[in-house]
Amino acid sequence: MKTHKREIVIYTLAALAILSAVCYFFGKMKESKEVVQTDLFSLTAPEPYAILTVNRPATFAKMMLAKPRIYQVFASEIPEIYLSILKQNTTIPSLQFSFHPSGIVMYAKADKSIAERIESEILRKTFNSFAPQKQTKGEIAFTYFPDTDNRFFGFYRYNGIWVASYSKKLLEKVADIQINNKNYITEEEAKLYKTLDVNAPLNLLIKSEKLDLFPKANDLSQWGFNGKWLGADLFESEGNICYFSNLPYYEPADTLYQTIIDTLSVRLKKQFPQLHITGQSYEENGKFYYTGCTN
């Protein structure tokens, strides 16, 4: 009788263990499916002035950020903590940065092991003066690490997506987008995003007025390009960092295109003098293409 009872207990425990393993397996499968299906672009916080999509984090970290001059360019716009996370976690499948007047948001597809490694090996070592603060809102648990100048570096992980920002407002806005399936991407942004090459290491979307490229001319008001978005693919070629983009060709403004390209060259040389960027442009099949590379 005792043997029989012991067998029942053993079989019950074994069944529970198998059931737990199966539930864990299917839970991981569900999360993996959700992560694969999630487009980080759709999670972008409202009203960005630029969006940088990193399609190939390993290439970006090992081939681009490894070059001091290139690293300085990105470090001038992106705080070191974000770049450290990227450089030390090249297994992240994809990530994105969105730039807003109130701060920068980093979005990454990250499983539990990657998220735990980021916190233990980078964040806790970087922000080691004070213990992090925890805050739960609804389904999401936020963690805030105190930094200098009364700033807090916050992050959360939800459904396989890891999001971080120094702006609590932006961080909570992205969480709200995730939980409630909201989307603040404009039709223009979405249309331009689809034209970019997902095989390029980086895609950049930036508001045209941020670059101040366009001359003040009467026909530009009719052309209606000021206030629009520009997109570019960034890649490496023979050791150089290059960009490729295009504008819709508008014949009445034909003489202004070269002015725009010349202005872009001046802006880039002034902003990043260490890069020595050279560019060229041409018109083909109703579009005006412009490319450039570091020299």
Delimit the domains of the chain by residue range. Answer: 1-37, 38-180, 187-294
* Kind plus residue range of the DSSP H or E element containing 154: strand 152-158
Measured between alpha carbons, how far is 122 from 88 in angstroms, rounded to an integer? Answer: 8
Give the pLDDT band of residue 133 (cuts 50, 70, 90).
very high
Triad 59, 65, 71: Cα angle to 5°? 155
At 178, give phi and psi (nearest 5°): -65, -50
How far is CA 17 from each of CA 4, 21, 26, rounded to the nearest angstrom?
20, 6, 14
44 or 290, which is more confident: 44
22-37 as b/e, with b when 16 or more CB fall inside 10 Å? eeeeeeeeeeeeebee
* pLDDT value at 168 more than 50: yes
Read off the pTM.
0.82
What is the per-residue pLDDT across 240-265, written as a single tens digit (0 to 9) for each? 888 998 776 666 666 677 777 777 77
Average pLDDT in the chain = 83
Closest to 244 in 3D by CA, of 189, 192, 196: 196
Average pLDDT over residues 270-294: 78
* pLDDT value at 225 more than 60: no
